[in-house]
Structure 1
Amino acid sequence: MTIETVRSFLGWCSVINMGLLLYWFLFIIFAHDWVCRVHGKWFNIPADKFDAIHYAGIMYFKLAIFVFNIIPYFALCIVG
């Protein structure tokens, strides 16, 4: 496996993961009440905790994208 292959793989993983993150963010912004109502029924979560849980989830997912995809991609761009 070459550096170019790994770099390409990490680049596409970054694009796909950022797309999922954007989808999650837009879904929470535009369908907040519906998602909160559904999750409230399933898990008995109040609205304020729902917002905190999703905010923390989005933050951790974004951090994981940077740590495991974007930073190694740029490191391989510098090396290769």
Structure 2
Amino acid sequence: MTQATLTAFFGWMTVIHIGLLLFATVMIYGLRDVISDIHARISGVEKRSLAPLYFQWLGTYKVLIFVFALVPWLALTLL
């Protein structure tokens, strides 16, 4: 694999994951009641304790995107 191929791979991976993060954020906060009802029924977690879990999940996903997609792309771009 060449550096250009890896740079393109990590670039597109970053774009796709940031798109998924934005989609998940919009869906969770746009349809909060519907999604909270569904997740409360599925997981058995109380509806009022789901908001911090959503926030934690979105934050963890964002950090993982930065570490495993954005930083390698930046490193390859700067080489």
Shorter-chain TM-score tier: over 0.9
Alignment length, in residue pairs?
Answer: 79
Deviant stretches of 4+, over 6 Å = none
Runs (5+) with no aligned partner, structure 2: none
Specify the alignment match of 2:12 in structure 1.
12
In structure 2, how many angstroms separate the alpha carbons of the residues matched to 1:70 and 1:52? Answer: 25
2:26 equivalent to 1:38: no
Query: Scaled by the length of structure 2, what TM-score is found?
Result: 0.95
In structure 2, how many angstroms separate the alpha carbons of the residues matched to 1:36 and 1:44? Answer: 11
* CA deviations over 1:16-40 (Å, ceiling 9, x no partner): 0001000100001110000000111
Q: Please, what is the CA RMSD of the aligned residues?
A: 0.8
In structure 2, how many angstroms separate the alpha carbons of the residues matched to 1:25 and 1:49? Answer: 17
Letter in 1 for 2:61: F
Structure 1 residue 48 displacement after superposition: 2.8
Query: Scaled by the length of structure 1, what TM-score is found?
Result: 0.94
Runs (5+) with no aligned partner, structure 1: none
Alignment of 1:1-80 (within 5 A): 1-79=1-79
